Structure 1
């Protein structure tokens, strides 16, 4: 009976935390803050993708799903030549444009424009996410500079890799098809896929945590060692002062 009773108690035990009302309020407010910051960080990371989707929608609306373009070099200048729906286009009303034309660059048409769009998207993501990442770490109960630096480094690398791979995929697609919307659509899809994959790898292998631990170890061996040496020196000097000993003897002379 005693054995069965012990097993029942062990298998059905529960932990009860008793908190004061102000503690409950504090935990609730902290959870809300974390959710807001986390959601804002996610939204900031997708802002560039959202802009690309808007651009893609405008491009399809102007050229249609089957609208075609190709690049042509004339007198050393690269032109983007448009085919299809000549009387229905509202953005690209001419038959051809220079590859550096504002409309072409803004709508990410052509290889150069795709690369420019990828750089602009990555730059926008950097600008939006860095302050949010810093704020997220400042709101933590324990702020560690090593964790902040690791999070920033890994996050920026993810953004950079996603942008580069997306641009490469888009450029590759642009060489095998003349569909105007295809390169940008591929850049968006591949960028999202690579970003998702990198997040999964980070979660699985703890890349950010391992980098933070490495940074803490480096900090301890460098700045930490300096701080310990300074503290030891201060302790010796203080002892010499309190005991009327020559200050600095055995250390400086």
Structure 2
């Protein structure tokens, strides 16, 4: 049964699982999430997964700000085979980290991202989560709201979302690394990575919608599937031809000996 969810104009389905004490409209909630994600993407150019990823990065900036302040400066130095985080500036502006040198493995400074390797590692940590989130969201959308039965449609949407995420995330990482080479302000590379990543995601979404890139990717996947199926189809045709030849030969032999 379809209805409007909360007066927001979303078309939702109704499927209730009844337990011993409670009832859950599971399908209604899932369809609402999918349609909300679609609406957000249409309005902002970013879906919920991208926004969540940006939120995680923003939380990292907030942690750095609370520890060092937005102007906090730091760099990594290796001494006697150990890596140290060296903090610069007035320690009174650092509400938490009052010292000037910490081991890089110290839990107090583990959240502070300094250097190209650290920025790339921080971006890589969310990649697996993002892949699972995009896959799950696309599967739910395909099963509950899509009228397109093609498996290539599902694979194309997942691939397109992941490609856009990787390109946007890569652009953000490169921007963060570039800014990191120009300044020792810890928050600078993180802010640059977030800003460029979000802007790249919005641009890629707009290009996708304008030029139909996802649909072209789906058609390409279908073409590959057709080419992969052709050898089996040819084999089936050959087998059928051999069957007809043997049947015809048997019929001719039977006629001859009558």
Same fold (TM over 0.5): yes
Q: What are the residue-to-residue correspondences of 1:138-177 with 2, within 5 Å?
A: 138-139=143-144, 140-177=146-183
Q: Which residue of structure 2 aligns with residue 206 of structure 1?
A: 212
Q: Which residue of structure 1 aligns with residue 33 of structure 2?
A: 36
SS of equivalent residue, structure 1 residue 106: coil
Tell me the distance in 2 between the aligned counterparts of 1:35 and 1:221: 38
Q: Identify if the C-alpha distance between structure 1 residues 166 and 80 changes in structure 2 by more than 3 Å, giving closer, same or farther.
A: same
Deviation track 1:59-78 (CA, whole Å, cap 9, x = no partner) reads 11221222111232323443
Quote the RMSD (CA, aligned, Å). 3.4
* Residue 75 of structure 1, aligned match among 63, 72, 80: 80
Deviation at 1:168, TM superposition (A): 1.5
2:201 corresponds to 1:183:
no
Q: Identify if the C-alpha distance between structure 1 residues 224 and 147 changes in structure 2 by more than 3 Å, giving closer, same or farther.
A: farther
What TM-score results when the alignment is normalised by the length of structure 2? 0.71
Q: Which residue of structure 1 aligns with residue 101 of structure 2?
A: 96
Deviation at 1:99, TM superposition (A): 3.6
Q: Residues 87 and 100 of structure 2 are in contact (CA less than 8 Å); yes or no, is this contact kept in structure 1?
A: yes
Q: Which residue of structure 1 aligns with residue 62 of structure 2?
A: 57
Tell me the distance in 1 between the aligned counterparts of 2:13 and 2:249: 53
Unaligned runs of 5+ in 2: 4-9, 15-27, 39-46, 252-258
Q: Identify if the C-alpha distance between structure 1 residues 97 and 185 changes in structure 2 by more than 3 Å, giving closer, same or farther.
A: same
Deviation track 1:21-57 (CA, whole Å, cap 9, x = no partner) reads x7x76x9435976552143572223222111111211
Q: Identify if the C-alpha distance between structure 1 residues 154 and 84 changes in structure 2 by more than 3 Å, giving closer, same or farther.
A: same
Q: Which residue of structure 2 aligns with residue 115 of structure 1?
A: 120
Deviation at 1:234, TM superposition (A): 5.7
Q: Residues 66 and 95 of structure 2 are in contact (CA less than 8 Å); yes or no, is this contact kept in structure 1?
A: no
Q: Residues 63 and 85 of structure 1 are in contact (CA less than 8 Å); yes or no, is this contact kept in structure 2?
A: no
Unaligned runs of 5+ in 1: 1-21, 247-253
Deviation at 1:124, TM superposition (A): 2.2
Q: Which residue of structure 2 aligns with residue 137 of structure 1?
A: 142
Q: Identify if the C-alpha distance between structure 1 residues 180 and 122 changes in structure 2 by more than 3 Å, giving closer, same or farther.
A: same
- Number of residue pairs matched by the alignment: 223
Deviation at 1:121, TM superposition (A): 2.5
Deviation track 1:211-243 (CA, whole Å, cap 9, x = no partner) reads 1111212222321562475378469859988x9
Q: Residues 172 and 192 of structure 2 are in contact (CA less than 8 Å); yes or no, is this contact kept in structure 1?
A: yes
